[in-house]
Amino acid sequence: MNLPTSESELEALGIDPARVPRHIAIIMDGNGRWAKARNLPRALGHRQGVLALKPIVKATVSLGVQVLTVYAFSTENWIRPQAEVDALMDLLMEFLRKETQELKDQGVSIRAIGDVSALPKRAQEALNEAMETTSDQCRMILNLALNYGGRDELVRAVNRWLASVSMEGRWPPGEISEADLAKHLDTRGLPDPDLLIRSSGEERISNFMLWQIAYTEIYVTRTLWPDFTPTTLLEAISDFQRRTRRFGAAE
C-alpha cells in the first residue's frame, strides 16, 4: 500500500499525526507458523519475516516515529536447532549488507541492544559496519534487539553500575537508584516505548524490555509477522491513540 503521510490522509484514518508514538517496539512473532501453514521450511518463514520488516521501517520513518525497536534474536533463541540459528545469523548479515545504504538514505541510524559480543564474529563485524555507516543519521533510530533478554539486560546494567562505582572509588557502593540503573541499560538515552506491538496473537512479553515497558501500551494482533503490513501498523497506532494513558494517576 501507499502509506498515507499527509495530515488529512492520516486524519481520515482516525490517526492524529501529532500523537504518533515516539518509540514503537515490536515482537516479530509468527515466522515459523507462517511457514508451517504453507508447508515451507522455517528458514523461509524467517526470510519472509525479514522482507516484512523493510516496509515497516519505511512506514515508521514516514510517520515521524523517533525510535523503532524490533526483537530480532533473543537470549533464548540459542536453544533452537543449530541450522536455524545459523540461518538467522545469515539473514541478519544479508539484511545489513543489502539495506544499510537505503536505511542511511532514509535518515535511519542503526543501533543494537543486547549482548552482541556473543554473536558470531562475522555477524558482529557486519553489525558494527552498519552502525558506523549510519551513525550520522538522526531522523529515526532502528534498534535491533540481538541476543537480547530483559533479565540479562538488567543483570548487565547492575554489573556496569558496580564496575563504575568501583572505578570511582565509591566502595561499598551504597544503594542503587532507578536513575543509576537507567543510565546503564542498553537503551540509555532513549525514550521508553510508548507502544509495544506483538504479532501472531501470543499474549506474553517473552522477556522483552522488562524495565522499559512499565507503562507501555500493548497491542496484540493475530497477524503473523510475515503478513504484517503498514496497514497493520496503522491499525495499532489508531488503537493506541484511542487509549488514555494515566501512568498510575486516577481516572
d(CA 112, CA 141): 10
CB 33 within 8 A of CB 200: yes
Coil, strand or helix at 142: strand
Catalytic site residue from 31, 39, 77, 186: 77
Catalytic site residue from 16, 29, 143, 159: 29
Q: Identify whether 90 is a catalytic site residue.
A: no
d(CA 152, CA 207): 9
Coil, strand or helix at 204: coil
d(CA 39, CA 37): 6
Phi, psi of 129 (to 5 degrees): -65, -40
Residue 59 cell numbers, joined: 512506514
Residue with grid cell 499474549, as numbered in its chain? 203
Residue with grid cell 534474536, as numbered in its chain? 73
d(CA 83, CA 249): 49
CA-wise closest residue to 173 among 188, 186, 163: 163
Q: Identify whether 77 is a catalytic site residue.
A: yes
Query: What residues are labeled active site?
Result: 29, 77
